[in-house]
């Protein structure tokens, strides 16, 4: 039995503590900055007998996800963590795991993709996997990264979902920052007081009831299988909301899939994902104190993309800037593209895109002030002149 | 000493692994390999992890599967890593009492492309980590599933679609990668070569490999009638010649250093490599329009050198006191 404790924890430590609490049966992982601390910590738990788990020190991230796939097929609870190049290396199997409907929880300590090589935060790694079929959650702070890890296992293993979940926390900004984190008070550690039952898989590799998994599917069935996968993914949104509600009702912390902040009367708003949300909220408070009616919408759940929640959150604003810490070269930021798609033809706000914080470029209150100023300028003109603006570029 | 069948008739009649109705080519011995693995260990529950390869695409076309045992496919290069995850999952679930305690064997299988080339990192990693599983490489000396492209296993001078026999370059320039010696260098308890032409030897080796607690590896030669260009009735004769010509000798390596030669018997006179080469369409350019004795000699010299190396290793192992 464990009581709730509030401790100063780095994001990586918080995630490792949460993963341990969930009793994974198998962890297969490979070190990569800024995620490494998570798997180091978990290997210590195993070495000290605090966590009973097969810990596979694989020789690459590709093998990490491959081993997770194999382990999940047996019905085990499976965890891994990676970042950046690691996710890029394993991406082939990231897709296959989702299409096999094998629950796996993976933490991404978001880090820029090479090149140039860079170890600092942006979301280009997670965005590489946005079409993979994984559920993707982004944390605002270390507490949320902790809580989200626990929610992720429940979501992934819910039989109505049976999909892998990617939990993102911003590299260094969260992974290596110490924040107060309150742990869960748990009496029954086996099931987290009933919140997270022992995994009961729909299908598994069972020598008494053999099935074949991972079959070749040709044009007669491929598209039908993909349609089924899409339906399962879309339907998972209601389960995610249910899990968020249950978690909040038990432990008092609620994290909606889309969280409006000061949006009731907002003239202009930005939409954020990840740790910049906290900075954005501070900017909103400052600007509100100066009499400006600005707001913010935090997107926590990026896949499935909560279209209706976003429409509801943004509909009353005059102009909205969607922040992306990634860019689809030759196009726009990915979150913007999704959001614009959700808002098109609805007579709602003007929508534009801000590209911010690539490769760890600081996102400060001034960054947000610039974005709000630009949105007010667009609102005054009644149109978006420059749909994609890069904020904070040297010499601009 | 384990009890090994000495006659084909001693093998179980029932098919434990793959069933009839699969879509492998007529005369393809890959199906024979899968069947013999099942028959080698009639008393053990198996879980089969299959690489992307002919065996995979021909036995599991959705919504059909030709397997009597739990079967899992992930991708091409990661079969050993997938198998290590299966092993770890099973072991932990049994330890925690969520799956009944059983001596389940995990078989991982891939072709030569998935083993020699794209899969070798995952295999090396899984063997180094010591997972209890058996990896079987069925070696048909090219990427047959994609239409006969050259692999690290393809023999010298062989035509493939990416090592064509042209006016200037006559088939594959390089020699076959010494896979089993690479595997043996990991120091695993048991690895061996085998051939479809020697089914009882193969069955014995699979059984031996399954009995190992830890990783074991069996490398079996499987002539491909489509890729090597021979008649559907000849898979086993071609494989036999591969062994008897000393091109693909059958041997075992214990603990990474004790080499034991099984076939061919060194006391028997050598079958010239030409006998092995001459009936394979992939090597036709060595015989037509005129015979290319120079390349045939190069292949023979290479075979002789590898054979001498193997005899030396076997002789050294016999004398060595450390085993």
Separation CA A92–CA B213 (nearest Å):
31
pLDDT at position A1: 62
Tens-place pLDDT, residues B261-288: 999 999 999 999 999 999 999 999 999 9
A186 forms beta bridges with A2
Summarize the confidence of residues A386-393 as an average pLDDT: 97
Phi, psi angles (nearest 5°) of residue A329: -55, 135
* Percent of chain A residues past pLDDT 70, beyond the cut: 100
Domain ranges of chain A: 6-251, 258-390
Chain B residue with CA closest to A78: the answer is B89
Q: How far is CA A320 from CA A111, A334, A345, A347, B206, in A?
A: 26, 15, 15, 13, 65
- Is the pLDDT at B220 greater than 80? The verdict is yes
Nearest-by-Cβ selection for A70 from B61, B67, B84: B84
Residue A207 near chain B (CB below 8 Å) = yes
pLDDT at position B185: 97
Q: Which residues of B touch A63 (CB under 8 A)?
A: 78, 80-81, 84, 121-122, 125-126
**Cα angle B126-B130-B136, degrees, rounded to a multiple of 5:** 55
pLDDT at position B2: 61
- Is the pLDDT at B318 greater than 90? The verdict is no
Asked if the interface predicted TM-score (ipTM) of this complex is over 0.90, the answer is yes
User: Could you give the dihedral angle defined by the CA atoms of residues B90, B92, B98 and B99, in that order, rounded to the nearest 10 degrees?
Assistant: 30
Residue A200 near chain B (CB below 8 Å) = no
- Is the pLDDT at B70 greater than 60? The verdict is yes
- Is the pLDDT at B112 greater than 60? The verdict is yes
- Containing H/E element for B106? strand B105-111
* Percent of chain A residues past pLDDT 90, beyond the cut: 98
Chain B residue with CA closest to A214: the answer is B73
Summarize the confidence of residues B248-268 as an average pLDDT: 96
pLDDT at position B1: 45
A6-251 topology per CATH: Rossmann fold (3.40.50)
Q: Which residues of A touch B85 (CB under 8 A)?
A: 26, 28, 56, 66-74, 78
In a domain, B190, yes or no: yes
In a domain, B5, yes or no: no
Examine domains A6-251 and A258-390 and report if their fold is the same: yes
Domain A258-390 in CATH 3.30.365.10 = no
Tens-place pLDDT, residues A373-385: 999 999 999 999 9
Chain A residue with CA closest to B126: the answer is A58
Summarize the confidence of residues B140-164 as an average pLDDT: 98
Number of domains in chain B: 1
**Size of the A and B interface in Cβ pairs below 8 Å:** 165
Q: Which of A23, A205, A217 to mutate to test the interface with B (most CBs of B within 10 A)?
A: A205
- Is the pLDDT at A303 greater than 90? The verdict is yes
Q: Which of A25, A56, A212, A213 to mutate to test the interface with B (most CBs of B within 10 A)?
A: A212
pLDDT tier, B27 (very low <50, low <70, confident <90, very high otherwise) = very high
* CA distance to partner chain B, nearest, from residue A99 (Å): 11
In a domain, B187, yes or no: yes
Nearest-by-Cβ selection for A216 from B47, B57, B122: B57
The sign of the torsion formed by the CA atoms of A302, A307, A309, A313 equals positive
3-state secondary structure chain A: CECCCEEEEEHHHHHHHHHHHCCCCEEEECCCCCCHHHHHHHHHHHHCCCCCCEEEECCCHHHHHHHHHHHHHCCCCEEEEECHHHHHHHHHHHHHHHHCCCCCEEEEEECCCCCCCCCCCCCHHHHHCCCCCCEEEECCCHHHHHHHHHHHHHHHHCCCCCCCEEEEEECCCCCCCEEEEECCCECCCCCCCCCCCCCCCCCCCCCCCCCEECCECCCCCHHHHHHHHHHHHHHHHHHHHHHHHHHHHHHCCCCCCEEEECCCCCCEEEEECCCHHHHHHHHHHHHHHCCCCEEEEEECEEECCCHHHHHHHHCCCCEEEEEECCCCCCCCCHHHHHHHHHHCCCCCCEEEEEECCHHHCCCCHHHHHHHHHHHHHHHHHCCCCCCEEECCCCCC
**Cα angle A9-A10-A14, degrees, rounded to a multiple of 5:** 65
pLDDT at position B317: 87
* Percent of chain B residues past pLDDT 90, beyond the cut: 96
Instruction: Enumerate residues 6+ apart whose C-beta is below 8 A from B205.
Output: B192, B194, B218, B252
pLDDT at position B293: 98
Residue-by-residue DSSP string for B130-145: T-S-EEEEEE-SSBTT
Summarize the confidence of residues A303-332 as an average pLDDT: 98
Chain B residue with CA closest to A222: the answer is B62
Sheet holding A294-299, edge to edge: A258-261, A294-299, A268-272, A319-324, A350-355, A388-390
pLDDT at position B117: 98
pLDDT tier, B322 (very low <50, low <70, confident <90, very high otherwise) = low
CATH (domain of B45):
3.40.50.970
Range of the domain at B286: 12-318
CB atoms A74 and B98 under 8 Å: no
- Is the pLDDT at A326 greater than 60? The verdict is yes
Summarize the confidence of residues B202-219 as an average pLDDT: 98
Nearest-by-Cβ selection for A216 from B60, B69, B125: B60
Mean pLDDT of chain A: 97
Which residue, A34, A280, A38, A41, is CA-closest to A172?
A34
In contact, B31 and B18? CB cutoff 8 Å: yes
CB atoms A207 and B47 under 8 Å: yes
In a domain, B31, yes or no: yes
Q: Which residues of B touch A206 (CB under 8 A)?
A: 70
Chain A residue with CA closest to B64: the answer is A215
CB atoms A211 and B60 under 8 Å: no
- Is the pLDDT at A173 greater than 50? The verdict is yes
CA A376 to chain centre: 30
CB atoms B88 and A92 under 8 Å: no
Q: Which of B18, B55, B64, B74 to mutate to test the interface with A (most CBs of A within 10 A)?
A: B74
In a domain, B122, yes or no: yes
pLDDT at position A250: 98
């Amino acid at each position: 039995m464990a009581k709730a404790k509030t401790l100063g924890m780095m994001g990586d430590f918080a995630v490792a503590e949460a993963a341990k609490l969930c009793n994974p049966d198998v962890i297969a992982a490979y070190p990569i900055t800024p995620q490494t601390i998570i798997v180091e910590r978990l290997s210590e738990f195993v070495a000290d007998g605090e966590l009973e788990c097969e810990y596979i020190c694989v020789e690459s991230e590709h093998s990490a996800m491959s081993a997770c796939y194999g382990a999940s097929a047996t019905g085990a609870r499976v965890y891994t963590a990676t970042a950046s190049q690691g996710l890029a290396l394993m991406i082939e199997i990231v897709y296959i795991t989702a299409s096999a409907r094998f629950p796996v929880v993976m933490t991404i300590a978001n880090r820029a993709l090479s090149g140039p090589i860079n170890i600092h935060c942006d979301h280009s790694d997670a965005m590489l996997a946005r079409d993979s079929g994984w559920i993707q959650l982004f944390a605002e702070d270390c507490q949320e990264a902790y809580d989200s890890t626990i929610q992720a296992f429940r979501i992934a293993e819910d039989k109505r979902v049976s999909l892998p979940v990617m939990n993102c926390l911003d590299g260094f900004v969260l992974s290596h920052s110490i924040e107060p984190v309150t742990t869960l008070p748990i009496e029954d550690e086996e099931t987290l007081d009933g919140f997270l039952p022992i995994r009961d898989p729909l299908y598994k590799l069972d020598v008494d009831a053999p099935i074949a998994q991972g079959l070749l599917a040709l044009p007669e069935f491929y598209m039908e299988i993909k349609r089924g996968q899409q339906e399962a993914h879309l339907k998972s949104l209601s389960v995610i909301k249910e899990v968020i509600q249950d978690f909040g009702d038990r432990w008092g912390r609620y994290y909606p899939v889309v969280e409006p902040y000061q949006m009731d009367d907002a003239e202009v708003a930005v939409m954020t994902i990840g740790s910049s949300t906290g900075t954005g909220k501070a900017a909103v408070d400052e600007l509100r104190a100066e009499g400006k009616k600005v707001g913010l919408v935090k997107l926590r759940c990026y896949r499935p993309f909560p279209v209706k929640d976003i429409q509801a959150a943004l509909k009353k604003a005059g102009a909205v800037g969607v922040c992306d810490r990634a860019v689809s070269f030759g196009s726009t930021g990915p979150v913007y593209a999704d959001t614009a798609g959700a808002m098109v033809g609805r007579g709602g706000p003007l929508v534009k895109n801000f590209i911010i914080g690539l490769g760890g470029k600081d996102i400060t209150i001034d960054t947000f002030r610039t974005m709000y100023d630009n949105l007010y300028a667009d609102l005054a003109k009644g149109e978006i002149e420059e749909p994609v603006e890069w904020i904070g570029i040297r010499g601009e | 000493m384990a009890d090994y069948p000495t006659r084909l008739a001693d093998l179980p009649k029932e098919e434990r692994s793959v069933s009839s109705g699969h879509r492998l080519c007529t005369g393809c011995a890959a199906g024979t390999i899968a069947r013999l693995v099942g028959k080698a260990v009639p008393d053990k529950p198996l879980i089969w992890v299959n690489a992307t390869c002919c065996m995979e695409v021909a036995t599991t076309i959705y919504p059909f599967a030709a397997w009597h045992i739990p079967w899992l496919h992930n991708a091409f290069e990661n079969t050993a890593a997938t198998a290590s995850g299966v092993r770890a999952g099973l072991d932990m679930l049994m330890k925690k009492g969520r799956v009944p305690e059983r001596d389940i064997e995990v078989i991982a299988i891939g072709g030569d492309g998935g083993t020699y080339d794209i899969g070798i990192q995952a295999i090396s990693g899984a063997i180094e980590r010591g997972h209890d599983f058996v990896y079987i490489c069925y070696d048909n000396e090219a990427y047959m599933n994609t239409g006969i492209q050259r692999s690290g296993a393809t023999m010298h001078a062989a035509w493939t679609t990416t090592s064509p026999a042209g006016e200037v370059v006559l088939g594959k320039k390089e020699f076959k990668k010494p896979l089993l010696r690479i595997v043996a260098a990991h120091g695993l308890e048991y690895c061996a070569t085998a051939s479809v032409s020697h089914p009882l030897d193969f069955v014995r080796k699979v059984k031996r490999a399954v009995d190992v607690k830890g990783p074991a590896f069996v490398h079996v030669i499987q002539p491909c009638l489509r890729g090597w260009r021979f008649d559907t009735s000849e898979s086993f004769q071609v494989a036999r010649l591969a062994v008897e010509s000393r091109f693909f000798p059958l041997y075992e390596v214990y603990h990474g250093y004790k080499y034991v030669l099984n076939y061919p018997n060194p006391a028997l006179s050598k079958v010239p490599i030409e006998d092995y080469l001459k009936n394979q369409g992939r090597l036709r350019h060595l015989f037509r329009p005129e015979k290319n004795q120079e390349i045939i000699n190069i292949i023979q010299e290479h075979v002789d050198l590898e054979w001498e190396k193997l005899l030396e290793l076997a002789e050294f192992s016999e004398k060595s006191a450390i085993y």
